[in-house]
């Protein structure tokens, strides 16, 4: 799964991992809003790494959580979806608007393989000090360079260099920053 090779999602080991994340994700999303330390403790258990002073607002939806690394001082607004079938690495000081989606899963183009429920995934890397506007979708295998801004609603289908503004569907660089 993490190596990018085809796998079956109904594998018993994968199902156990996902059951763990469902429980922790539910605890995070339903925690008392006045209990920020409790929510942070659940996130620290759910995620692979949670940087100092990072803030993630519920609701959050993940596949496993353990394959997500969030850098220090990063802010993730409401409604994030992080499907971490492959690793998702989020740098320091990243800002994410509401309803951002980081999607690592892929599916075969071959109809028979899809019918047989084969899946794969490719990692996503978000560099330091990136800003993803509301509703941005980052597709499998994408790397976004540091200090880049991605406009609201953009769909990032391929790598973006450092220090640019990208907008649209598919996202395209409109200028350097």
**Residues 130-142: what's their mean pLDDT?**
98
For residues 135-142, give the mean pLDDT. Answer: 98
Is residue 107 annotated as part of the catalytic site, yes or no?
yes
- Smallest CA-to-CA distance from 18 within 98, 105, 94, 97 is with 105
pLDDT in tens, 68-120: 999 999 999 999 999 999 999 999 999 999 999 999 999 999 999 999 999 99
CA-based radius of gyration for the chain: 16
Report how far Cα 174 is from the mean position of its chain's Cα atoms.
24
Question: 120 and 141 in contact (C-beta within 8 Å)?
Answer: no
- Predicted local confidence at residue 2, as pLDDT: 63
Q: How much of the chain exceeds pLDDT 70, in percent? A: 98
Residue 51's pLDDT band, with cuts at 50, 70 and 90, is very high
For residues 137 and 66, give the distance between their C-alpha atoms in angstroms, rounded to a whole number: 21
Between CA 67 and CA 159 the distance in angstroms is 20
Residue scoring higher pLDDT (27 or 2): 27
Percent of the chain with pLDDT over 90: 88
Unique residue bearing structure tokens 């607004």: 77
Sheet with 49-50, strands from edge to edge, namely 49-50, 68-70, 88-90, 124-126, 143-144
Q: Which CATH class is domain 7-176?
A: mainly beta
Judged against a pLDDT cut of 80, whether residue 4 lies above it is answered with no
Q: Where are the domains of the chain?
A: 7-176
- Quick: pLDDT tens for 10-42: 888 889 999 999 999 999 999 998 888 899 999
- Which of 27, 61, 107, 172 is flagged as catalytic? 107
Measured in residues, the chain has a length of: 177
Q: How far apart are CA 109 and CA 111, in angstroms?
A: 6
């Amino acid at each position: 799964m993490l190596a990018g090779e085809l796998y079956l999602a109904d594998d018993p080991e994968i199902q156990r991992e996902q059951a763990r994340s469902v429980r922790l994700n539910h605890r995070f999303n339903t925690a008392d809003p006045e209990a920020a330390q409790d929510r942070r403790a659940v996130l620290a258990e759910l995620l692979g790494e949670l940087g100092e002073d990072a803030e993630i607002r519920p609701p959050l939806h993940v596949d496993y959580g353990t394959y997500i690394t969030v850098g220090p001082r990063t802010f993730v607004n409401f409604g994030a979806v992080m499907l971490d079938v492959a690793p998702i690495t989020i740098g320091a000081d990243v800002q994410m608007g509401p309803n951002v989606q980081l999607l690592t899963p892929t599916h075969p183009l071959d109809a028979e393989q899809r019918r047989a429920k084969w899946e794969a995934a490719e990692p996503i890397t978000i560099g330091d000090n990136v800003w993803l506007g509301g509703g941005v979708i980052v597709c499998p295998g994408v790397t976004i360079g540091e200090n880049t801004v991605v406009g609201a609603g953009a769909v990032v289908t391929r790598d973006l260099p450092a220090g640019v503004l990208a907008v649209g569907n598919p996202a395209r660089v409109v200028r350097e920053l």
